[in-house]
Amino acid sequence: MKPSDVPEIVERTLRLGEVVERLLYLDPASGRRVELEEEVPYYKKQLRLVLGDNTRIDPTDIRDYVALDGYQALRRALERMKPQAVIDAVTRAGLRGRGGGGFPAGVKWNTARRARGDRKFVLCNADEGDPGAFMDRSVCEGNPHSVIEGMIIGAYAVGAREGWIYVRNEYPLALEALALAIDQARSCGFLGERILGSGFSFDIGISRGGGAFVCGESTALMASLEGKPGEPRAKYVHTVEKGLFEMPTVLNNVETWANVPKIVLRGADWYSSIGVGDVSENPWGGSTGTKIFSLVGKVVNTGLVEVPMGTTLREIIFDIGGGVPNGKKFKAVQTGGPSGGVLPESLLDLPVDFDRLAGAGSMMGSGGMIVMDEDTCMVDVARYFIDFLKDESCGKCLPCREGLRALLEILNRIVEGKGRRGDIALLEEIAECIAETSLCALGGSAPNPVLTAIRYFRSEVEAHIRDKRCPAGVCKPLLRYRIVAEKCTGCHACFKPCPANCIAGTAKKVHVIDESTCVKCGACYDVCKFDAVAR
Quickly list DSSP for 199-238.
S--BEEEEEE--S-GGGGSHHHHHHHHTTS------TTS-
Q: Does residue 296 lie within any of the structural domains?
A: no
Choose one of 442, 466, 490: the last residue of a domain: 466
Predicted local confidence at residue 35, as pLDDT: 85
Residue 298, in any domain of the structure: no
Helix, strand, coil proportions of the chain in percent (round to 5)? 45, 15, 40
Q: Which residues of the chain have pLDDT under 50?
A: none
Whether 132 is in a domain gets the answer yes
Across 100-148, the runs of DSSP E, i.e. the strands, are 121-126
CATH code, domain with 530:
3.30.70.20
Q: Is residue 102 part of a domain?
A: yes
Q: What pLDDT does 193 receive? A: 96
Predicted confidence at residue 443, as pLDDT, reads 87
| DSSP, res 15 | I
Q: Counting beta carbons within 10 angstroms of the beta carbon of residue 281, is it exposed (0 to 12), middle (13 to 18) or buried (19 or more)?
A: exposed
CA–CA dist 282, 332 (Å, integer): 33
| Residues 275 and 424 reside in one and the same domain | no
pLDDT for residue 424: 96
Half-sphere exposure of 178 toward its Cβ, with a 13 Å CA cutoff?
Answer: 28
Q: What is the pLDDT of residues 40-98, one digit of tens each?
A: 889 989 999 999 999 999 999 999 999 999 999 999 999 999 999 999 999 999 999 99
Q: 10: exposed, middle or buried (C-beta count within 10 Å: 0-12, 13-18, 19+)?
A: exposed
Same domain for 134 and 203, yes or no, is yes
Cβ atoms of 404 and 434 within 8 Å: the answer is yes
Is residue 238 included in any domain, yes or no?
yes
Do residues 482 and 510 lie in contact, with contact meaning Cβ atoms separated by under 8 Å? no
Phi, psi of 263 (to 5 degrees): -65, -45
Nearest 5°: phi and psi at 338? -55, -30
Half-sphere exposure of 233 (CA within 13 A, CB side): 15
393 and 525 share one domain: no
Contact present, 210 and 224 (Cβ < 8 Å): yes
Residues 88 and 149 in one domain: yes
Closest among 350, 442, 430, 378 to 129, alpha carbons compared: 442
CATH code of the domain in which 159 resides: 3.40.50.11540
Given 228, 252, 284, which residue is the final one in a domain? 284
Say if residue 81 is in the same domain as residue 199. Answer: yes
Q: Are residues 65 and 144 in the same domain?
A: yes
pLDDT at 521: 87
DSSP code, position 315: I
Q: Indicate whether 205 and 252 sit together in one domain.
A: yes
Residues 513 and 419 in one domain: no
**What ranges make up the beta strands (E) of 83-161?**
121-126
58 with 207, same domain: the answer is yes
Residue 124 in domain? yes
Cβ distance 91 to 110 under 8 Å? yes
CATH number of 452's domain: 1.20.1440.230
Res 17: pLDDT: 93
* 487 & 462 share domain: no
Give the pLDDT confidence of 384-403 residue by residue, as tens digits.
999 999 998 888 889 999 99
Interatomic CA distance for residues 481 and 8, integer angstroms: 52
- Same domain (yes/no): 139, 214: yes
**Which is it for strands 533-534 and 25-26: parallel, antiparallel or unpaired?**
unpaired
Quote the pTM value: 0.90
pLDDT value at residue 132: 78
Q: Are residues 133 and 64 in the same domain?
A: yes
Domain that holds residue 398: 378-466
410-441 burial, b at 16+ Cβ within 10 Å, e below that, comes to bbeebbebebeeebbeebeebbeebbeebbbb
Which of 260, 284, 308 is a domain's end point? 284
Q: How many domains does the chain have?
A: 4
Q: Tell whether 109 is covered by a domain.
A: yes
- d(CA 46, CA 51) in angstroms, rounded, equals 10
